[in-house]
């Protein structure tokens, strides 16, 4: 969202409105008022990641505007789960270890798929819900990994998908080695680049390699299903064998 907002034809809400999950009873007028004012030809956008895993969201969005375009950023579900845990840990240092939360039964290696950090990464399961309301042609899947290694390449796809001129290009990015994330700069502006907030690029806690191995095995069939459903191979398995 930060990157696409650099495009002059996009207006976006800075905070997550959570309309289609938490604030739906406030009504469409409330949602409209949260949105930025746009001119003819501009695109209005918002980002609320939890919509993807909210059962009612696809139906609600579809009943508001069935031609809405949807963008989903996905990353390796194992890394995603650890990242999710890291974020919670920074707010609640007293929570149990990742290993404790990840298993129903550690001895048997039974993964606890009801724990949200793990459930969210079963992308095929959530996507099924969306495909009941939206055709695949209205959904763009962006690779979270490539968004870091080749932000301009991924942003070219986003702009094409939204029917925008490719204005956000490599000139807009520079890589921040400390954070491990690209930062955004305005090509015509000499001011300091904007980097993502402090919740991004946190150091992940050390996780037992056996736990990571079991998680990979758990996600693999779901990943394969997701690749088949989207017609895109995100290469999360290759990534593992490279390490």
**Rounded to whole angstroms, how far apart are CA atoms 147 and 172?**
13
Q: Is 238 exposed, middle or buried (0-12, 13-18, 19+ CB in 10 A)?
A: exposed
Residue 83 marked in a binding site = yes
3-state secondary structure of 29: helix
Residue 60 marked in a binding site = no
3-state secondary structure of 27: coil
Residue 202 marked in a binding site = yes
**Rounded to whole angstroms, how far apart are CA atoms 236 and 222?**
11
First and final C-alpha spacing in the chain: 30
- Say if CB 99 and CB 110 are below 8 A apart: no
Residue 68 marked in a binding site = no
**Rounded to whole angstroms, how far apart are CA atoms 105 and 109?**
6
Q: Residues 117, 121, 125, CA angle at the centre, nearest 5°?
A: 120
Residue 172 marked in a binding site = no
Residue 198 marked in a binding site = no
Residue 177 marked in a binding site = no
**Binding residue ranges:** 75, 83, 200-204
**Binding residue ranges for 3'-phosphoadenylyl sulfate:** 75, 83, 200-204
């Amino acid at each position: 969202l930060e990157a696409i907002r650099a495009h002059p034809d996009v207006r976006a809400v800075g905070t997550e409105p959570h309309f289609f999950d938490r604030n739906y009873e406030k009504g469409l007028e409330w949602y409209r008022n949260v949105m930025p004012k746009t001119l003819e030809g501009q695109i209005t956008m918002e980002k609320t990641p939890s919509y993807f895993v909210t059962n009612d969201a696809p139906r609600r969005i579809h009943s508001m505007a069935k031609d809405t375009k949807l963008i989903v950023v996905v990353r390796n579900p194992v890394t995603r789960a650890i990242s999710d845990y890291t974020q919670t840990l920074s707010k609640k240092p007293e929570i149990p270890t990742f290993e404790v939360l990840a298993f129903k039964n550690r001895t048997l290696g039974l993964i606890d798929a009801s724990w949200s950090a793990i459930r969210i990464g079963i992308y095929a399961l959530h996507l099924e819900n969306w495909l009941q309301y939206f055709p695949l042609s209205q959904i763009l899947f962006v690779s979270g990994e490539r968004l870091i290694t080749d932000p301009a390449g991924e942003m070219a796809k986003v702009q094409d998908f939204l029917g925008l001129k490719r204005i956000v290009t490599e000139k807009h990015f520079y890589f921040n080695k400390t954070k491990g994330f690209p930062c955004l700069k305005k090509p015509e502006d000499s001011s300091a680049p904007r980097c993502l907030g402090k919740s991004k690029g946190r150091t992940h806690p050390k996780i037992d390699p056996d736990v990571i191995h079991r998680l990979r095995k758990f996600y693999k069939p779901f990943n394969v299903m997701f690749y088949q459903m989207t017609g895109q191979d995100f290469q999360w398995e290759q990534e593992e064998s490279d390490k």
